[in-house]
Each structure stands twice: as structure tokens, then as C-alpha cells.
Amino acid sequence: MTTNQGWTPARIYNVYRIAIACALLLLHYGPGQPLIGTFQPLLFEATLFIYLGLTLASTTLDFRPHRRAYPNWAQPASLISDLVMLTLVVHANGGLEGGLAVLLLVTVAAGNILLRGRMGFLIAALATLAMMFEQFYFSIQSLAESPFLLTESGLLGIAFFMVSLIIQQIAQRLQHSERIAQRQQVAIERLEALNQQIVQRMRTGILVFDDKQRILMANHSANNLFGSPMLGSELPQPLTERFRRWQDNPLLPLETLRVSEQSPVLSPRFAALETEHEQLTLLFLEDSARVAQEAQQMNLASLGRLSATLAHEIRNPLSAINHATDLLLDGDPAEEDRHLLGIIRNHVSRVNGIIHDVLDLSRRGKGQAERFTLTPFLEELCEQWQLRGYGHDRLCRQCLTDVEVRFDRNQLTQVIDNLIGNAFKHGGDASQVFLECGRHASTDLPWLRVRDNGKGIDADTARYLFEPFYTTASDGNGLGLYLCQELCQANQAALDLEDTPKGASFVITFAHPHRQFQ
């Protein structure tokens, strides 16, 4: 329970009631002659003890941790009993002349805070009538000439009503301000929740840290990049060094970095985040590979439009050159000419293949994903490769569990055929290819591994392996693996190169088979 919730006006008034009762008793039972309550001591003492007991009981019930709601009549009844008790105290002290009638002002003020409206004015009216009765009673007792001269009690009544009016005006303003503050708080909480959702769903890693490089905020992407929750930890040393360089020269481009061997290459960007209380810094961590891939997608889109325009103009001369080559070969040319014509034909076929691949890339439509079991699919695929002359000793299937995937069958065939073909092409005549499948223990996502026992792929080549038009073969066009990755992404799967001590290993991680593609 917070401080504002614990000390409500009702509880503060209860504490005041206890303090007033104790103070009056101390003044009455003080050393020497009693200072108050000398007119009717027995009535004064009995009233104060009853009043103190009632206030202690009421306060104890009010401060219970799991108190039940009081009925609507409880608060007015408590205030009216206070008026009765204080009126008896004023009477036992000698009436208005005793000076204790001013205590009723606090009760009237509390009544208008706790009750408000007509009930608050009712408390003021009852207090006024009680003081008028007191003055009238003591005027009769003192045999005054005019017992109806109620000047002092009338002024007190005016004070009671003015206090009621002022308190209610203040209470209404405070209530109006409280409603505005509550509406603003709700709007701020909604805005904060919206900002939190936006920041948490961003693919860019975001960190907020103070001048001591202590991380105060981190979104999910940042935690995934570092592999652990970053909130409350110190800024890693590589980022600290780049932060100092940024402080020295904010316009200087910063170097990329890797936080671990498994993490992607990150591009850091810093920005000042000024608040009223402290100076913070905002850090953006972007995956350089993803940014490069997005730029690559734009370039390939432009390339696709350009290739579609030039395909007709390029293919016509290629067809003419190829036809002329065939005619020359039919004319029984010399061996040297035949060799040159063969080179022309090979290069014409290669250029035509590049145009075909680029056109397929730009015209590739949405795949028809379907759910199917991977084991019979791989058996059929292996049988097709066996018909090409690759037996069980060259292509081995090692799926120990039956795995269900969601993928376009024709596109998956194209991806696996390309991976197997690359393994046989670059691995040599003695190379072997192994097909393995299973499910991840943590995510339950199905996977398929295509690995070989060849010479493997060096680190420099692996960096650009999935980029278009990058190839190490003299007769390749560099689009095979890029097309494989694009086909996997179109089916919401991922194609990655694994680190392996021998050969090359490609892993396809499929989406969950129960997931419906959008």
C-alpha cells in the first residue's frame, strides 16, 4: 500500500480525533488545578472517555489490512456522534464561554470533505443549532435579560457555513483536477504501452544506458543479439570503445562488430537522449547482413525489371549466334574450327542460362505451400538421383525420425537438388552427400541437413556465399545458392551454412507445420 492510499482524509481525521481527546484529558488531569472541564467534571470526563473509546475502535477498524466496505450511513453517523460528543464537552466546560466551541470547526470541515453536498451542509446546520442551544441554555441559567440574544452562536453558525462552502468548492476543484489527472495518467500509460510494444517488436536492437555505461533498457532484439538479458548489466567493452569514439567525433563512421562468434555483424549508432533528471544515451544495433540484404533486394528488383526488358533483345542475337554455330558444325569444319565453335556454343549456353535464372528470379510467384512428410519425399528424391548414376554409396539418407514440414514441393526439390549438385560438383568423384532430418529440442521446428565430406568452404567464401553473382567456379553464374535462400524465405524457412570440421553442411530450418502462411 502506498502512502497516498494509506493516509486517506478519513484516517487523518480519525488520528485527529484521538489526539484531541487525549489533549483534552491531559488538560483536565494535569498537575494542579484542572484547566478545562470544571463546570461539570463528571460529564466532561465521561464524555471524553466514551469519545476516546469510540475513536480508537473506529480507527482500529479503519486501519485493518483487509477491511470490509462500510455502509453509506456509517460516515454520517460517525460525524453526527462527534457533534454530540463535542457539544457535551463544550457544555461540560461551561458553554461558549469556555472556548472549546472552535473544535466544531474541524468537525464541520471534515464533514464537508468526507460527505460533500447537502450532507456536508447538514453537519454545519447541526453544529450551528447545537451552539445556539448552548448559548440559549446558559443565558437562561444566568438569568440574562434576553436569552434569545444569540450573537456569538450566530457568528459561529456563519463561520460553520462559510467553512462548509469554501471546503466544498476546494473539494470540487480537487476532484475535477483528480479526474483530469486520472485521464492523463491513462493516456500516458496507453502511450507508454504502445511505445513499449513498438520498441520491443523492432528488429533493430535498442539499448539505453546512463553516463556510467549501465544499461537501463533493452528490447528483445538486443537481448537476442547478445544471447542474454542486458537490463542492469554494463555496456560491453567493444561498444564502450565505440561510444567514446562517438563522443569524440559524432560524425565519424563507427566500425562494425560481433559480440560473439555466433552473432551477426552489427552496425552501432548512438544518439543522445536528454531528460529532465539525467543524461542518457540511445544505442541502435542493426544487423549489417539484414540491411545489406534489403539493399540487395532493391537492387535485384531493379535488375529483374531491367532483365525483363533486355531479355528479348539479348536472346534474339544469342539464338542467331547459336543457329549459325550449328550450321557451321554441320558443314564438317576443321578440328580447330570445331573447337572454337564449341567454345562459342558453350558461352552462348552460359549467357542464356544466366538470363533464364534472372528471369525466373524476377518472375517467381508465390509458392503453393503444403504439409507433407519429409521421409517419403527424400526417398523419392534419392531415387531420382540414383537414376542419374549416384548410388547409395554417394547419396545417403539418415532420417531417424519422421518429420512433417510445410513447404512448396517443387521449390523444396529445387533447393535440395541445387545443394546436392553443388556438393557433387565441388567435392570430386569420391564425395558423399548425407541427408539428415529431425526436430529442434527447444523450438520443436523441423530441420533438414545436407552435408558432404568434401574439402569444405573457407571463411572468406562463406561470407559471400548467398550473395547473387558470387561464384568461385569458372562456369557458374553465382545465382544457385541465392535462389535457394530466396525459395526458403518465400516458404518462411531459413537456409544457413553450419560450421563443420570436414566438408560443407547446409541446414534448412522449416516453419512449424501447423503455421498458416500469410
Domain 370-509, CATH: 3.30.565.10
Q: CB–CB of 491/511 below 8 Å?
A: yes
Model-wide pTM > 0.75: no
CATH level 3 topology of 203-287: Beta-Lactamase (3.30.450)
- The pLDDT of residue 518: 45
CA-wise closest residue to 355 among 321, 322, 320, 306: 306
Instruction: Please list, in sequence order, all residues whose beta carbon lies within 8 angstroms of the beta carbon of residue 510, skipping any fewer than 6 positions away.
Output: 405, 406, 407, 445, 446, 447, 448, 491, 493
Q: Where in the chain is the domain with CATH 3.30.450.20?
A: 203-287
Q: How many residues appear in the chain?
A: 518
Q: DSSP code of 474?
A: T
Neighbour tally for 298: CB within 10 Å: 10
Nine-digit cell at 48? 471524553
Nine-digit cell at 486? 530466396
CA-wise closest residue to 114 among 58, 184, 47: 58
- The pLDDT of residue 514: 73
Cα distance between residue 470 and residue 480, in whole Å: 10
- The pLDDT of residue 508: 92
Q: CB–CB of 5/12 below 8 Å?
A: no
Q: Where in the chain is the domain with CATH 3.30.565.10?
A: 370-509
Q: CB–CB of 82/23 below 8 Å?
A: no
Give me the architecture of the 291-363 domain, per CATH.
Orthogonal Bundle (1.10)
- The pLDDT of residue 304: 63
- The pLDDT of residue 262: 55
Q: CB–CB of 374/405 below 8 Å?
A: yes
From the number of C-beta atoms within 10 Å of its C-beta (0-12, 13-18, 19+), residue 406 rates as buried
Cα distance between residue 249 and residue 270, in whole Å: 11
Instruction: Please list, in sequence order, all residues whose beta carbon lies within 8 angstroms of the beta carbon of residue 89, skipping any fewer than 6 positions away.
Output: 24, 37, 44, 47, 48, 51, 100, 103
* Orientation of helix 9-28 relative to helix 41-62, angle to 10°: 150
- The pLDDT of residue 364: 57
Q: CB–CB of 124/108 below 8 Å?
A: yes
Residues of the chain with pLDDT under 50: 1-4, 518
3-state DSSP of 66-123: CCCCCCCCHHHHHHHHHHHHHHHHHHHCCHHHHCHHHHHHHHHHHHHHHCCHHHHHHH
Q: Where in the chain is the domain with CATH 1.10.287.130?
A: 291-363
Cα distance between residue 115 and residue 79, in whole Å: 10
Q: What is the pLDDT of residues 351-393, one digit of tens each?
A: 777 676 666 655 555 567 888 988 889 988 888 888 888 887 8
Q: CB–CB of 216/231 below 8 Å?
A: yes
Which residues are 234's β-sheet partners?
A: 214
